[in-house]
Structure 1
Amino acid sequence: MPYEKQLYQGERETKREHDLKLKDRRKLEVTGVLDVDSFDTEEFLLKTTAGYLLIRGHNLHMKNLNVDEGFLTIQGKIHSFDYIDENKQNQAKGIFSKLFK
């Protein structure tokens, strides 16, 4: 039922901690992940308990993903990561829409 799913989603958002652990700019471990909105070898857009997170790099790939536990590992050359405000969210999705035309 959609109503129950919304309640469960709300529980996941409030109870999870959000952490980033970067190792040698080659491996990024993220906790508190709620959803992976989009990704390719250059960018990942994640919904986390702290807001939307945009990760940029080169030759990026998903190593581990467990949305139930809110854990994600990304490997590749990490160039940057940035939290996106609500007004910047549409701009980030515009980047991905250009890539997937």
Structure 2
Amino acid sequence: MAEHSIKLSNRRNMELTGIKNVNNFDEEKIILESEQGNIYIIGQDLHIGTLNLEQGRVALEGNIDIIEYKAPGTDIKAKGKSIINRLLK
């Protein structure tokens, strides 16, 4: 298993290692795939400054509010589907 780490400075700059892929990103949410599952980063004005998937390194900038891990194999869209399902019932 590849080593995974997160370094967060002042909730504005984040460096991650052990990243396999970037599954989704926009200015409010970035979803990264690591050996240990998906990592959801939620905030405002999020930008990927450095991306090197060969080395598994990612650097982010922006206002970081939430860092959440999901278990490997968890459907990325499952959370959104459950909200929609609840609204339609």
User: TM-score under structure 2 normalisation?
Assistant: 0.82
Structure 2 partner of 1:83: 69
Q: Which has the higher strand share?
A: 2
Structure 2 gaps, min length 5: 82-89
Task: State how many pairs are aligned.
Answer: 80
- Deviations 1:59-94, CA, capped at 9 Å, x for gaps: 000000000000000000000110013445332575
* 56 and 18 in structure 1: CA distance in 2 versus 1, 3 angstrom threshold: same
Q: Work out the CA distance in 1 between the residues paired with 2:70 and 2:51.
A: 21
Residue aligned with 1:89, SS: coil
Moved over 6 A (4+): none
Relative to structure 1, the CA distance from residue 69 to residue 92 in structure 2 (aligned partners, 3 Å threshold; closer, same or farther) is farther
The reply on whether 1:62 has 2:48 as its aligned counterpart is yes
Q: Which runs of 5+ in 1 are unaligned?
A: 1-13, 95-101
Q: TM-score, normalised by structure 1?
A: 0.72
Q: CA RMSD in A?
A: 1.6
